[in-house]
Each structure stands twice: as structure tokens, then as C-alpha cells.
């Protein structure tokens, strides 16, 4: 999903696109990686001194509920990134910097064969490790 698509979705759902909400979308659309609420808070606090964690969390969860952001758990903390709306794929996620790389192979092809009598309603497949940059750091 890109920023324009996210704004359109917010508006269709009846939400106002404020400067803060636009800045949050800019934060996530600028990098293809996962970020924590703390990362977003620090980014927003520089522009909006005194912004509350509640404001950051409310918007993170709104964007997640609307499908604008996707999330994963790294190191027992929730991380967010812009939702991928292109072809089906999965991600390698760097445990250190949160950078992602698309993985176009899906293990569900084999799993569906093993679970033919079951109705599969969804899946999520993520690979965790260190990106080349973090390996050399």
C-alpha cells in the first residue's frame, strides 16, 4: 500500500486526514521496514513536541485495523510497516534493523496438500535473521 491508497482508505472509512495522520503515513511509506511505536513516537515528537504516546498508539492501531499497516512481533514488541498490497509474498525480517525483503516462495502450497480436509482461512510466514548490513556491523 502506498500513502495515496492509505489516505483514500481513511477517507472512505470516514476518518479525517489530519497533518499528524499524514505525517504518520509519511513515516511508514519512506522506508520498507518494520518500526516500533517508540520509533514513531520519536519521529512525531520532533515535529509535535508534547504529543502523547496515546495518540501514537491510537493511530497505529487504527491503521492496523484498517489494513494500512501490518504488524509482527520482534523481541516481544509489536513492530509495524505499510501493508503490502501487491502480489502474494512473505518477508525476511532483520532482527536488528527491521529491514524486510520479499520472499516469493509460499509454503502453503505444500501445507494445503497435507490439510485437504481442512478450511484454511489465512496464514502468515516470516523468516527472521540478520540482513547483510547488520551482519557486517
Assess whether 12 and 78 both reside in one domain.
Answer: yes
10, 17 in Cβ contact below 8 A?
yes
Residue-number span of the structural domain to which 37 is assigned? 3-82
Each residue of 95-123: pLDDT tens digit?
Answer: 888 888 888 888 888 888 999 999 988 88
Rounded Cα distance between 7 and 3, Å, is 6
CATH number, position 48? 1.10.10.10
For residues 126 and 15, which has the higher predicted lDDT (pLDDT)? 15
Question: For all residues of the chain together, what is the average pLDDT?
Answer: 90
Assess whether 24 and 50 both reside in one domain.
Answer: yes
Q: How confident is the model at residue 85 (pLDDT cuts 50, 70, 90)?
A: low
Rounded Cα distance between 35 and 53, Å, is 15
Assess whether 14 and 46 both reside in one domain.
Answer: yes
CATH number, position 105? 3.30.1490.190
Each residue of 36-79: pLDDT tens digit?
Answer: 999 999 999 999 999 999 999 999 999 999 999 989 888 888 99
Amino acid at each position: 500500500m502506498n500513502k495515496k491508497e492509505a489516505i483514500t482508505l481513511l477517507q472512505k472509512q470516514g476518518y479525517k486526514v489530519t497533518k499528524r495522520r499524514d505525517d504518520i503515513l509519511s513515516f511508514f511509506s519512506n522506508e520498507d521496514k518494520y518500526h516500533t511505536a517508540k520509533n514513531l513516537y520519536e519521529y512525531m515528537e520532533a515535529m509535535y513536541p508534547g504529543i502523547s504516546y496515546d495518540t501514537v498508539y491510537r493511530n497505529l492501531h487504527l491503521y492496523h485495523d484498517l489494513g494500512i499497516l501490518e504488524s509482527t512481533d520482534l523481541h516481544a514488541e509489536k513492530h509495524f510497516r505499510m501493508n503490502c498490497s501487491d502480489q502474494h509474498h512473505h518477508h525476511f525480517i532483520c532482527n536488528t534493523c527491521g529491514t524486510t525483503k520479499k520472499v516469493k516462495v509460499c509454503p502453503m502450497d505444500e501445507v494445503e496438500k497435507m490439510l485437504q480436509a481442512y478450511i484454511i482461512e489465512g496464514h502468515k510466514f516470516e523468516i527472521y535473521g540478520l540482513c547483510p548490513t547488520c551482519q557486517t556491523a
